[in-house]
Structure 1
């Protein structure tokens, strides 16, 4: 389906400096650091799943808006991030573990299903959750990363054949520890250079873009967030390092195998939000795999919910309201 035009739901601006206090929740053999708000809105759970290298704090603009719209908002630091567990085994970050954490989180709160929202890597987890545990997903919303077709070759193997060994997805798999060490040494500079908006147009770089960003003296574009907000991310990754979160990438070929026998069609209602200047490729066959999908494009780059928070809030709340109205009619 094409995108709905002007959303009509009004979502007021909120104080984005406030964020819920965390709770450690035991799930699936690990502990997740979980931030929740709107517990009084029992029966309307919505789970927000961050990407890489992000945090639950990436959803700071959405939490109050969704609470005001009547939702019980649950925002985990997924395994490998923040105060959540960081298992040492690489395979502990495969898609079965990541989706299993979310299922166990629903069990903890006593919900049969929920609306799931994911950005970047979080979108990959949410798409996979809809395939592996379809009964636990009522609706899903993806930002930036569309549904990924499984294809005939494992994902890293296919990327290496086309983009070469220096492409960062391939590099972190074939040379474990190299990128991790550079990012750990230059955490503040890397995140300062990564979290930008209004960057000048440029072609995708085939080389090791993460290391290049960590070493660049002058970032492109404008800061995405205030120094105070950026400090939250810098402090968290200086504490945890990057290896546990990069281990998500190191499971992509394993994930490809784990999804081999799964029905590839997402049958739940879905909303796909693209950034028009995002370097992540759009799906040309999205409706073949996600037949009940609405698509919206916003004038922004990759960090969609942080770059265009009011627009994202309006789009999400309006879509949820319309879906509720449709299901009740």
Structure 2
């Protein structure tokens, strides 16, 4: 499979001190100052996930800023779990805007990055002018903290719950063989299968034979393997370990997204579409692509077209 990009073509990183940490930031299109777009990756991912979007956004006149968020790559990895709550993750992005001298920006998030973008928009609405999220729709804040709710409905082995109730166990399994875990995780055209007992991510990390086809070229996957061999997985998993704390942090904010929003779903994604997104994001457009979870990597041209056409409107 030919990659659309050579890893060496991705922007060179710089380390920027923000909000008490250092972030490894990949920037392109500074000449397009005044039209900032911040790209926010998910788990277990990197800013490199946006390698197909960066050149398209720059060519369309945007100043693209893509950090490895705290816990990832060469960005800071604080030891305390509470250092990864959504208020701090959002604060990193606000401080990044301040560093570049921007009042506001368009924020794009995939997976956990989408959770951060939705939450950032609630916590700092003046700093966000447009919202684009992939895979993960707006996280409705019900009456029960999120991990408690998931444990009651999905059980103790559901990976969100397992990460919280058995800290360190999954981290160690992933770190035994990062290359195998990442190879098995980043797939396309995976056959649908019935839910199995056990902890799905640990089972995936230990599977000797992957299913479906590879999502990335060998050279692209090598970027991920090198990064996680160095960083480990605990920083990123600590985002999950703050979900109940995040639920409390968002208790007193206006729950409505007032900015224009674009939501992109993969029709073969295991993350279910929102049933009532417009109730929380009244100015939202929802788009479906024939894709699995890694939408912007699996369908880069379609994703770029959807984003750029929506931004142009």
Length-normalised TM-score, structure 1: 0.93
Q: Secondary structure at the match of 1:96?
A: helix
Aligned-residue offset at 1:203:
3.1
Aligned-residue offset at 1:264:
0.4
**Structure 2 CA distance for aligned equivalents of residues 221 and 24 of structure 1:** 36
Match of 1:45? 36
Structure 1 residue 72 and structure 2 residue 63: aligned? yes
* Unpaired stretches in structure 1, ≥5 consecutive residues: 1-12, 323-329
**Structure 2 CA distance for aligned equivalents of residues 277 and 41 of structure 1:** 35
**Structure 1 CA distance for aligned equivalents of residues 252 and 265 of structure 2:** 29
Q: 1:15 to 1:211 in 2, by over 3 A?
A: closer
| Superposition pairs of residues 84-123 of structure 1, within 5 angstroms | 84-123=75-114
| Superposition pairs of residues 260-299 of structure 1, within 5 angstroms | 260-299=251-290
Match of 1:253? 244
Among residues 153, 163, 188, which one is paired with 1:197 in the alignment? Answer: 188
CA displacement, residues 264-294 of structure 1 (integer Å, 9 cap, x when unaligned): 0000000000000000011101000000000
Aligned-residue offset at 1:59:
0.2
| Superposition pairs of residues 110-149 of structure 1, within 5 angstroms | 110-149=101-140
Q: In the alignment, is the contact (CA less than 8 A) between 1:16 and 1:60 conserved in 2?
A: no
Q: Secondary structure at the match of 1:79?
A: coil
Match of 1:319? 310
Aligned-residue offset at 1:15:
4.0
* Unpaired stretches in structure 2, ≥5 consecutive residues: none
Q: In the alignment, is the contact (CA less than 8 A) between 1:46 and 1:73 conserved in 2?
A: yes
Q: CA RMSD in A?
A: 1.1
Q: In the alignment, is the contact (CA less than 8 A) between 2:5 and 2:51 conserved in 1?
A: no
CA displacement, residues 117-146 of structure 1 (integer Å, 9 cap, x when unaligned): 000000000000110000000001000000
**Structure 2 CA distance for aligned equivalents of residues 15 and 212 of structure 1:** 31
Q: Secondary structure at the match of 1:230?
A: helix
Structure 1 residue 240 and structure 2 residue 226: aligned? no
**Structure 2 CA distance for aligned equivalents of residues 55 and 167 of structure 1:** 24
Match of 1:7? none
Among residues 171, 179, 186, which one is paired with 2:170 in the alignment? Answer: 179
Q: Secondary structure at the match of 2:10?
A: coil
Structure 1 residue 217 and structure 2 residue 217: aligned? no
Q: 1:237 to 1:104 in 2, by over 3 A?
A: same
Q: In the alignment, is the contact (CA less than 8 A) between 1:204 and 1:279 conserved in 2?
A: no
Q: 1:108 to 1:206 in 2, by over 3 A?
A: farther
Which stretch has the larger CA shift, 124-133 or 201-210? Answer: 201-210
Q: In the alignment, is the contact (CA less than 8 A) between 1:14 and 1:64 conserved in 2?
A: no
Aligned-residue offset at 1:217:
1.0
**Structure 1 CA distance for aligned equivalents of residues 74 and 161 of structure 2:** 28
Match of 1:29? 20
Q: In the alignment, is the contact (CA less than 8 A) between 1:193 and 1:213 conserved in 2?
A: yes
**Structure 1 CA distance for aligned equivalents of residues 234 and 65 of structure 2:** 25
Q: Secondary structure at the match of 2:15?
A: strand
**Structure 2 CA distance for aligned equivalents of residues 242 and 204 of structure 1:** 24
